[in-house]
């Protein structure tokens, strides 16, 4: 599906990252990928972030480059796009998989979020999509696809997701407005809303309890897999989804359609 196509992947942290599940599928289908990663701190002489992504990508002929990028720094974003232009030329896809909130703000009640923490979480988790799309716009081919990763906590209140849910609500809205802005360029913008998975960010949001809940409530009676997320993300980035834009695709076994606890009620005598 991606023979002769190339693009940018952001947000890969390790093998369990959703971004990696998608990138792995894209490369398996012939796509050439450049990767950005969170810069290592100057005092980190072991360069842990660089080493993680190097171990994942080394030896893969479909990997074009590895480039550090702080998404809160416009100079970093500009340098990343320069690298994309030099190594890839025009791009056919861009995967945005970036989110962050300070631990105290993420774990505490939403009402207690600090002003500084709110600004930081919103800048990294939502505004970053605008910043990357704007910077990448001159490099995007007609019929290119932009995909971001969201979660149901942006649509409904999910205890434990807290301030990140507010950020995802903003991200979901940005997807729609970007789809409108980039439509005349024949560039599509969509979001993939995956159910809980064992990832770094998932563990920070209490994924173990959510996995049990989704398995009990979802119509399919199970949780999703990294492979399924990879396939869905690959579909949305590919020409097979050429008529789809401004959409949020839910990949959660049907959990999002439920208006009651569903099968959780089986065997419970109500009214007693």
Nearest to 242 by CA among 133, 174, 142, 130: 142
Mean pLDDT, all residues of the chain: 93
Question: For residue 19, is it within any domain?
Answer: yes
Q: Does residue 263 lie in a domain region?
A: no
Q: Is residue 86 part of a domain?
A: yes
The question of whether 127 is a catalytic residue gets the answer no
Residue 87 in any domain: the answer is yes
Residue 262 forms part of a structural domain: no
37, 127, 161, 214: which one is catalytic?
161
pLDDT at 45: 77
| 94-130: pLDDT as tens digits | 999 999 999 999 989 999 999 999 999 999 999 999 9
Q: Please check whether residue 234 lies inside any domain of the structure.
A: yes
On whether residue 44 sits in a domain, the answer given is yes
pLDDT tens track for 165-205: 999 999 999 999 999 999 999 999 999 999 999 766 655 55
Q: Give pLDDT, residue 269.
A: 60
Give percent of the chain with pLDDT exceeding 90: 86
Residue 22, token pair as written in the block = 């998608």
Domains: count for the chain: 1
CATH code where residue 228 lies? 3.40.50.720
Catalytic annotation present for 180 = no
Of 37, 127, 151, 214, the catalytic one is 151
> Domain of 90?
6-256
Task: Answer whether residue 261 is part of any domain.
Answer: no
């Amino acid at each position: 599906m991606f023979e002769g196509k190339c693009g940018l992947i952001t947000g890969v942290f390790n093998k369990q990252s959703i971004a990696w599940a998608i990138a792995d599928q894209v490369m398996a289908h012939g796509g050439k990928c450049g990767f950005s990663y969170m810069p290592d701190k100057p005092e980190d002489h072991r360069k842990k972030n660089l080493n993680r992504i190097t171990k994942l990508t080394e030896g893969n002929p479909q990997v074009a480059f590895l480039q550090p990028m702080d998404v809160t720094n416009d100079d970093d974003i500009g340098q990343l796009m320069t690298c994309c232009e030099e190594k890839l030329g025009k791009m056919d896809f861009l995967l945005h998989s970036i989110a962050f909130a300070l631990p105290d703000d993420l774990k505490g009640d939403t009402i207690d979020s600090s002003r500084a923490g709110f600004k930081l979480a919103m800048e990294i988790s939502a505004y970053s999509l605008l910043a990357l799309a704007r910077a990448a716009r001159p490099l995007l081919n007609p019929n290119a696809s932009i995909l971001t990763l969201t979660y149901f906590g942006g649509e409904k209140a999910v205890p434990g997701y807290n301030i990140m849910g507010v950020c995802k609500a903003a991200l979901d809205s940005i997807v729609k407005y970007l789809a409108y802005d980039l439509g005349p360029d024949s560039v599509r913008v969509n979001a993939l809303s995956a159910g809980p998975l064992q990832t770094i960010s998932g563990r920070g949001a209490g994924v173990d309890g959510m996995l049990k809940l989704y398995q009990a409530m979802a119509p399919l009676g199970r949780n999703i897999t990294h492979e399924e997320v990879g396939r869905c993300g690959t579909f949305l980035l590919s020409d097979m989804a050429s008529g789809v834009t401004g959409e949020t695709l839910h990949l959660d076994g049907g959990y999002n359609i439920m208006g009651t606890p569903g099968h959780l009620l089986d065997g419970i005598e109500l009214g007693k």
